[in-house]
């Protein structure tokens, strides 16, 4: 019989203890799961990606913008700091804006399902022309759009269809010195789009503000039709004000004169029993006309012009240049003029300079 030495016994005990200790503390590391990378979704244009784990496509975009306004139309009027009186000293109007847009889309058996939201956050010098303010700055935010779309159905808050369907009034900052339609509103609408460039819509709107919001369960009604082709397009829209039982309509014609020059003209007419209050006739008098155009002067420089005139002899002219410094950043100087030909000394001039970084 072989007898182990004391040293051997101790060595065997230590080795066994160490082995048991490591066995008790052993950690089993799971195999790493394959990483799920963000996939590009090119079905809806540039910038969309798939939300991981879903078939929903998302685009997050926005801009940082700084505006400087001067003159009678947009310049700020401030207190005279020496004597503390509203001395009507003209100075700059400044506005910094952060815009955020979130666009989510997916395909369903009923068509494209979309949700769109746009928010504005402003920091501005308080007051504008002919308004005296003792404060220096103002924080401001606005929900510009929040709606859902399914196929041709649209439900939510957005620009009035009476304004958006006829494409507003030119590619200028101050496009409504002679107004073209009401402000944003809650709405339900359906738009049919044909394969030949034809589209038609019908919509119900709530209106906005003390004067234009509906005062019963009867909504305002908007209907329109358009035809878009390579040469341009024709757009027509009619609005019914349920508060005052008034009608108004607009017709717009666009012409793609060359590959660099586009022209447009628009006319509006409204009934006159409640001519000052109708939600779909914000211009002066029964009728108004607008027109203008855009020209691509170089790969980086474009020019835009917008003119307007109504029955009450309100006239406005706006012109600007848009210079793309680098992709995603442009500078836009603009000059504006407004007058009422029936009122003496009513002319006013102003201007803007806009800097915008988009992403």
Residue 351: what pLDDT?
A: 93
251: pLDDT strictly greater than 50: yes
DSSP 239-261: EEETTTTEEEEEEEEEEE-SSSE
State the chain's mean pLDDT as an integer. 88
pLDDT surpasses 60 at 134: no
Beta strands in the chain (DSSP E): 49-50, 57-70, 76-80, 85-91, 93-108, 111-125, 132-133, 137-150, 153-158, 185-193, 198-205, 220-229, 232-241, 246-256, 261-270, 287-296, 301-310, 314-326, 329-340, 348-358
Q: Largest Cα–Cα distance in the chain?
A: 131
Q: What is the pLDDT of residue 90?
A: 73
Mean pLDDT of 344-359: 94
Residue range 298-310, pLDDT digits in tens? 999 999 999 999 9
Mean pLDDT of 27-41: 70
The mean pLDDT of 261-267, rounded to a whole number, is 98
Whether 354 has a pLDDT exceeding 90, the answer reads yes
Q: Which domains does the chain have, with CATH numbers?
A: 152-358 (2.40.160.10)
Q: Which residues, in sequence order, are CB contacts of 238 under 8 Å at separation 6+?
A: 222, 223, 224, 247, 248, 249
Q: Running DSSP on this structure, what letter comes out for residue 82? A: T
Q: Which residue has the higher pLDDT, 302 or 9?
A: 302
pLDDT at 335: 97
- Residue 225 and residue 166: Cα distance in Å, rounded? 10
> pLDDT tens digit string along 185-194?
999 999 999 9
Q: Which of 5-14, 77-86, 229-238 has the lowest average pLDDT? A: 5-14
On the question of pLDDT at 19 being above 60, the answer is no
Q: Average pLDDT for residues 145-152, to the nearest whole number?
A: 97
Flag whether pLDDT at 4 surpasses 70.
no
Q: Which residue has the higher pLDDT, 322 or 129?
A: 322
More confident residue, 19 or 337: 337
Q: Does residue 322 carry a pLDDT above 90?
A: yes
**Alpha carbons 348 and 143: distance in angstroms, whole number:** 31
The tokens of 108 are what? 């369903």
CA-closest candidate to residue 46, choices 299, 324, 328: 328
CA distance 158 to 204: 12
* Cα 225 to Cα 236: distance, rounded to the nearest angstrom: 6
State mean pLDDT over 106-114.
Answer: 96
Span 248-274, mean pLDDT? 95
pLDDT, average across residues 39-63: 94
């Amino acid at each position: 019989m072989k007898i182990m030495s004391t040293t051997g016994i101790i060595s065997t005990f230590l080795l066994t203890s160490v082995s048991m200790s490591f066995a008790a503390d052993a950690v089993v590391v799971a195999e790493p799961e394959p990483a799920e990378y963000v996939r590009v979704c090119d079905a809806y244009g540039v910038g969309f990606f798939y939300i991981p784990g879903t078939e929903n496509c998302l685009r997050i975009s926005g801009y940082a913008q700084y505006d400087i306004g001067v003159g009678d139309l947009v310049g700020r009027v401030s207190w005279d700091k020496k004597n503390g009186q509203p001395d009507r000293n003209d100075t700059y109007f400044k506005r910094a804006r952060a815009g955020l847009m979130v666009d989510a889309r997916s395909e369903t058996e009923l068509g494209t399902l979309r949700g769109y939201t746009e928010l504005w956050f402003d920091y501005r010098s308080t007051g504008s022309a002919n308004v005296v303010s003792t404060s220096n700055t103002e924080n401001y935010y606005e929900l510009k759009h929040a709606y859902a779309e399914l196929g041709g159905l649209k439900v939510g808050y957005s620009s009035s269809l009476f304004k958006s369907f006829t494409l507003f009034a030119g590619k200028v900052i101050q496009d409504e010195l002679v107004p073209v339609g009401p402000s944003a509103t809650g709405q339900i609408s359906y738009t049919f789009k044909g394969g030949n460039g034809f589209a038609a819509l019908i919509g119900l709107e709530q209106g906005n503000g003390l004067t234009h919001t509906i005062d019963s369960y009867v909504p305002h009604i908007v209907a329109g039709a358009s035809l878009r082709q390579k040469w341009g397009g024709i757009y027509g829209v009619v609005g019914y004000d349920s508060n005052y039982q008034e009608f108004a309509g607009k017709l717009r014609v666009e012409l793609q004169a060359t590959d660099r020059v586009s022209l447009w003209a628009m006319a509006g007419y409204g009934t006159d029993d409640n001519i000052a209050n109708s939600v779909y006739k914000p211009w002066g008098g029964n009728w108004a006309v607008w027109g203008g155009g855009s020209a691509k002067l170089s790969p980086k420089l474009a020019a835009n012009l917008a003119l307007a005139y109504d029955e009450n002899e309100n006239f406005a002219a706006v012109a600007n240049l848009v210079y793309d410094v680098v992709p995603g950043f442009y500078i836009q100087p603009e000059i504006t003029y407004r007058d009422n030909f029936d009122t003496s000394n009513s002319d006013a001039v102003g201007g803007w300079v806009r800097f915008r970084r988009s992403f």
